[in-house]
Structure 1
Amino acid sequence: MGYPKDLLVSRAVIKHGSYAIIPPAGLVNNVIPGFEQCKVSILASPKMGASFVHYLVAMEPEGRNTRGFGGAGIETFVYCMAGKIKAHTEAQAAVLEAGGYMYCPPGDKLFLQNLADNETQLILYKQRYEAVEGTQPWVVVGNVNEIAERIYDDMENVKIIDLLPTDLAFDMNMHILTFEPAGSHPFVETHVQEHGAYLFSGEGLYYLDNEWIPVKKGDYIWFGPYVPQAVYAVGREKLSYLYSKDCNRDAAL
């Protein structure tokens, strides 16, 4: 990296327990046991107030996870942004390319291996599963390019894709939300759910805890529970992001 060429500045905004915006320029690599020939950045964790952990992973050729990821009550999710990987549990395997994903239930460990000759880019996620009696989630494999978009809240210029089933066995979901230029949320949301969002494309002005903050492709946003939130898409490109959501469970006492 070398010496800085200008003043040390950052667009990062971290409000512990409330929200965070993390641009790519400030990310550092973390050594995670089991990840070989991988550059791993931890985007969100309980240390900032999140109830989950989100990662950005660049797998070099021959990169892999040899110890498994998750299991023992921890559910996991992997999304392939670019490249090609083999993702598997002990019982099920899939080859994922751009747009491909796999969800693994809390009883399974997820193993990953880069199949590309160059770098593969992944988003990883894990959280502790909250069980409901009589239900059990299952492995889900898919590709967003094979799923039809649906109109979001009766607005033609905003589309959503659901990646996981809405079955009560699942206590989380992943969605891709896409705003055409000038698209926006229909209202400022305030809710118990928290989100982690990685921006695939475009630019926007995000309303977070009574502040308007510019965001763009490559940024990561963590939204804490009950933080007022909404966005306007700005610029010439679609604003699109993958985001996590906890769901299908009551609030604990």
Structure 2
Amino acid sequence: MTGYHFPKGGLPPQTSLMTQRAVFTDAYCFIPKGCFSDIVTSYLPAWDKTRLWLIARPMTGFSETFSQYVMEVEPGGGSDAPDPETGAEHVLFVNDGLITLTIDGEGHELDAGGYAYIPAGSRWTLLAEGASPARFHWVRKLYEPAPGVAHPQAFVTSDRDVKPIPMPDTNGAWATTRFTDPADLRHDMHVNIVTFQPGGTIPFEETHVMEHGLFVLEGKAVYKLNQDWVEVEAGDFMWLRAYCPQACYAAGPGPFRYLLYKDVNRHAKLRGPGAFGPAR
């Protein structure tokens, strides 16, 4: 493991070619690392000394279930009121730096590789306490309760402490670091880390209802998105709507790793936006 990529910001020089690899289609969006410049950062109410790249948000007819931010908090910055949306659940994954995260009165320190799940309705705060900026991903989703299923509890762990699980019949060439049990029906989303060793592949075109956000943490590969093979590397972001075919070939020389969001474990909506029946 060589570290987790994070945007450097800034602006390309005036001598740079403007044409890069960015693509937006009706099936996927590909944001290469060169697009993470200072001019597309934003700020949030109630956050001090903080900027972010907002890289995914619900869009009708595209990907509708989640938002994803790439956060940069200067030392001493953070928030005592991070999100006014009380119905949102959260996953934080730390790329670099040190944060103190308090969830319902219990404090936790997270450094690079740190992972936190924060249930909807929790009271939480975040403070960057290191000598350098804290940099982390923040995935948000409206939690969907299910009849007879308890709500999930908060937990904090680390990439270092969760052993990757090899996919069947791959000899470890493709493995997933699962931070929640796939059979735990309390959870309606998974945010995991997928690792391919050099030469590892997704050997078929995955085509499924789950939406994806994939931020490349390390390495490089060629990734099939719908009908296109795209070269990807650390710092790139892939945003896939439901049913977008995907496949992968890890190019090496080291592991190819990405942070992956997907929605799981709930019935398809038949009423309201994106469905046939009226809301009730």
TM-score range normalised by the length of the shorter chain: over 0.9
Q: Distance in 2 between matches of 1:36 and 1:191?
A: 39
Q: Which residue of 2 aligns with 1:20?
A: 29
CA contact (8 A) 1:53 1:125 kept: yes
1:186 counterpart SS class = strand
> Where does the alignment leave 5 or more consecutive residues of structure 2 unmatched?
1-10, 271-280
CA contact (8 A) 1:68 1:109 kept: no
2:51 to 27, 31, 39: 39
Judging changes above 3 Å, is the alpha-carbon distance between structure 1 residues 154 and 79 closer, same or farther for their aligned structure 2 residues? same
| Paired residue type of 2:22 | A
Q: Which residue of 2 aligns with 1:164?
A: 180
CA contact (8 A) 2:214 2:259 kept: yes
> What CA RMSD, in Å, does the superposition of the two structures yield over aligned residues?
1.6
- Asked whether 1:184 is paired with 2:201, we answer yes
**Cα displacement string for residues 94-142 of structure 1 (whole angstroms, at most 9, x for unaligned residues):** 1111111111111114321101111121000101111102221110211
- Asked whether 1:235 is paired with 2:252, we answer yes
Q: Distance in 1 between matches of 2:235 and 2:123?
A: 28
The CA deviation at 1:62 is 1.2
> Where does the alignment leave 5 or more consecutive residues of structure 1 unmatched?
none
1:211 to 228, 240, 244: 228
Q: Distance in 2 between matches of 1:247 and 1:214?
A: 28
CA contact (8 A) 1:69 1:109 kept: no
Q: Which residue of 2 aligns with 1:112?
A: 126
- Asked whether 1:58 is paired with 2:102, we answer no
Identity of aligned residues (%): 30
The CA deviation at 1:54 is 0.3
Which protein has the bigger strand share? Answer: 1
CA contact (8 A) 1:71 1:108 kept: no
2:82 counterpart SS class = strand
Q: Which residue of 2 aligns with 1:129?
A: 143
The CA deviation at 1:2 is 7.9
Q: Distance in 1 between matches of 2:102 and 2:162?
A: 22
- Asked whether 1:74 is paired with 2:88, we answer yes
1:192 counterpart SS class = coil
CA contact (8 A) 1:153 1:186 kept: no
The CA deviation at 1:208 is 0.7
Judging changes above 3 Å, is the alpha-carbon distance between structure 1 residues 109 and 125 closer, same or farther for their aligned structure 2 residues? farther
Q: Distance in 2 between matches of 1:2 and 1:162?
A: 37
| Paired residue type of 1:161 | T
Q: Distance in 2 between matches of 1:15 and 1:122?
A: 27
- Asked whether 1:30 is paired with 2:45, we answer no
The CA deviation at 1:199 is 0.5
Q: Which residue of 2 aligns with 1:144?
A: 159
CA contact (8 A) 2:57 2:67 kept: yes
| Paired residue type of 1:209 | N
Judging changes above 3 Å, is the alpha-carbon distance between structure 1 residues 189 and 96 closer, same or farther for their aligned structure 2 residues? same
CA contact (8 A) 1:70 1:126 kept: no
TM-score, normalised to structure 2, is: 0.85
1:69 counterpart SS class = coil
| Paired residue type of 1:19 | Y
Q: Distance in 2 between matches of 1:124 and 1:77?
A: 6
